[in-house]
Structure 1
């Protein structure tokens, strides 16, 4: 009960701060249809955060509170406070390294350079060393408080080895719907095809441990095995255009927010041993843009529906099935109806192919949650529903990532014109 009250206070503080930052083109007399109210519901009653913290019993609510409060500070041009909140957040949980590049480049470019040049170029004459020292002092102080005791006791190497456990393997048993889930399926498909065509010797292939539900290092059968350094390079390449964009063409705090989303999704799609719940790092901040822009609302609906359904395997007992289905239906129906009403008169929120894809998600849910347990041979392939869920959801997450990049490029082009 104490945890629930703590998270509720964190959510209320976050809601009040973030809703002040929403750009409302016109103030509606109907409070329920205002962007600030819709945003409050999307943040306070987010389905993914609800089941992860209050059913699966983890502690992410107050961490997302820090993240959203930090974003609100930057949207209000209170950059030092935003930097302090993110520094604390990063030391509370290192998974937020996903979005650290966006913070670092944005603060260096838009805070440490005190003047905006008309041509958008970077001139070191406008660089403020005082502001850089201020930011550095904040980050160094938080890290000193966090890691200082471990340094004094000579335990820093042990802490770092626990923070970055590379021996856990590339994937978390197919649960994270990212590029590596697609890569694994392609590898297994090629191996099956090779054995069927008698091009490969089945006895010489590695055991199919990736679908065994174990967290360990694995070797791919046909495709090259992926190392942590490869995932790091892929992640950096995926976020490089986004961070370069806010460096060369800064567009204020909302440009930073868009870059943060791309960093979060890029790290989720290409990172090492990514957990499925990490998709919430992109879903929650995207709520802010969704209530302001019709295009972002469409991306939000695809990513949220896909990302939330990918969390279903966390609740795997039959008794939990009606709970997760009902909660997701309530949140999803509200998201669709509220955002469609909010952006009415500006065209359809979703594209036809997006609607078809989301309807396919319903078919996947019925097949995995209802039909598969009734099959007589389901015990031979217990992780097949998890594999199907991750692969199908991977397509939606990848699509949302690409659409966010297209949106970023369009905004750059319109600014040039």
Structure 2
């Protein structure tokens, strides 16, 4: 109980951490920026200058608008603030346009939205504090807690990144009062994984937000180790299309094999006295990544479909990995609910 209070309590560590990250971002304002700078500048210009019917058809720039509609509206709102910084950045034909005022707007808009995100997380942490849970009946307590704490915390987050659907599973699990810091971490991992699955981020790299905390959980229980291995293997393989040049092929395969073999062997040794980490279905799925890679990288390029259907390897990879990640999400979700119920029964 004390550990959970420390992890979610009212100390100054959270504010200090948030302030430190914000100050660091301010110091990095004049430094290097990636191609995303031009990507978002173009999206600001598209949503500001063109009617809605043309947003997803405008192709003056190679960085066409390919994010979900909610994000497009988010860019539209930002564009009406951006015009007060530099109107020229909102010209669709000003490709690769950059200015000091444009840079400041791009940096400060991210920092400002992060502040709202931090505020939402802070309120969610208060919800996890046992001292804040009402002593009323279970039903009325949950309704009151949702109205006064959960709803204010998820509303700005959902408004910003359209993840209310993704947050709801973790909130549901939190109602069962996770047991200690480990239960708290599992709920956050579930939240990150749910967010990835239901549209918090369309980049494949965002799967790391769930893999990293899951790696901490993997050494505690065999069930968590199994979920971690499925998630990390599938998640890492899903990043392969981002490294698409020939010289990168042996490097990415070798690195993944080394990491995967080491992770599986280490966790199997750690939980050698328990049941196997994988059942036959999970083993069959993970081994299927090998033939999939051979098919996409070594067989398909030599077929007649390469010119007419060049998207097939990416399609196969995405669908196959989606199955594994969805399975890991479901397995984690069930384990959180079961462990919470067991902990509650033991306490009673």
Q: Which TM-score band (shorter chain)? A: 0.5 to 0.7
Matched, 1:109 2:127: yes
Q: 5 Å matches for 1:248-327?
A: 249-271=177-199, 274-327=202-255
Partner residue in 2 for 1:333: 261
Counterparts of 2:174 and 2:201 in 1: how far apart (Å)?
Answer: 28
2:131 is paired with a residue whose SS is coil
Q: How many Å separate the matches in 2 of 1:122 and 1:84?
A: 35
Task: Write the distance in 2 (CA, Å) between the matches of 1:101 and 1:357.
Answer: 40
- Equivalences for 1:68-87 in 2 at 5 Å? 74=7, 80-82=12-14, 84-85=16-17
Does 242-251 or 289-298 show the bigger shift?
Answer: 242-251
CA distance in 2, matches of 1:353, 1:301: 14
CA distance in 1, matches of 2:255, 2:12: 38
Cα 1:123–1:386 shift into 2, 3 Å = closer
Render the CA deviation track for 1:21-62: whole Å, top value 9, x for unaligned: xxxxxxxxxxxxxxxxxxxxxxxxxxxxxxxxxxxxxxxxxx
Where structure 2 has 5 or more consecutive residues not aligned to the other structure, the ranges are 26-109, 150-156
Residues in 2 aligned to 1:300 and 1:398: alpha-carbon distance in whole angstroms: 13
Give the counterpart of 2:299 among 371, 383, 399: 371
Verify the 8 A CA contact 2:292 2:317 in the aligned structure 1. yes
Tell me whether 1:361 sits opposite 2:289 in the alignment. yes
Deviations 1:127-174 (A, max 9, x none): 9xxxx9xxxxxxxxxxxxxxxxxxxxxxxxxxxxxxx9xxxxxxxxxx
Cα displacement string for residues 204-259 of structure 1 (whole angstroms, at most 9, x for unaligned residues): xxxxxxxxxxxxxxxxxxxxxxxx99x93xx4234313223324524332222111
Question: In the aligned structure 1, how far is the partner of 2:119 from the partner of 2:281?
Answer: 33
Q: Which ranges of 4 or more aligned residues in structure 1 deviate by more than 6 Å?
A: 93-97, 99-102, 114-124
Q: 1:372 to 1:109 in 2, by over 3 A?
A: same
Secondary structure (helix, strand or coil) at the match of 2:306 reads coil
Normalising by structure 1, we get a TM-score of 0.50
* C-alpha distance in 2 between matches for 1:120 and 1:334: 45
Other-structure match for 2:332: 404
Deviation at 1:350, TM superposition (A): 1.3
Whole-angstrom CA distance in 1 between matches of 2:234 and 2:205: 12
Count of aligned pairs between the two proteins: 243
1:395 aligns with 2:328: no
**Which sections of structure 1, spanning at least 5 residues, go unmatched?**
1-70, 133-163, 165-227
Aligned counterparts, 1:74-153, within 5 A: 74=7, 80-82=12-14, 84-85=16-17, 103-104=121-122, 106-111=124-129, 113=131
Residue 415 of structure 1 is matched in structure 2 by 343
TM, length-normalised to structure 2: 0.60
1:299–1:404 contact (8 Å) kept in structure 2: yes
Shift of 1:373: 1.5
Shift in Å, 1:123: 7.5
Q: Distance in 2 between matches of 1:341 and 1:246?
A: 32
Structure number with greater CO (CA < 8 Å, separation at least 6) is 1
* Contact map agreement 1:109 1:247 (CA 8 A) in 2: no
Instruction: Call closer, same or farther: CA 1:379–1:239 in 2, change over 3 Å.
Output: same
Is contact 1:120-1:249 (8 Å) kept? no
Q: Which residue of 1 aligns with 2:275?
A: 347
Residues 226, 278 of structure 2: 8 Å contact kept: yes
- Structure 1 contact 110–252 (Cα < 8 Å) conserved: no
**Residue 39 (structure 2) aligns with:** none
Q: Is the 8 A contact 2:193 2:207 kept in 1?
A: yes
Q: Confirm or deny: 8 A CA contact 1:102 1:263 kept in the other structure.
A: no
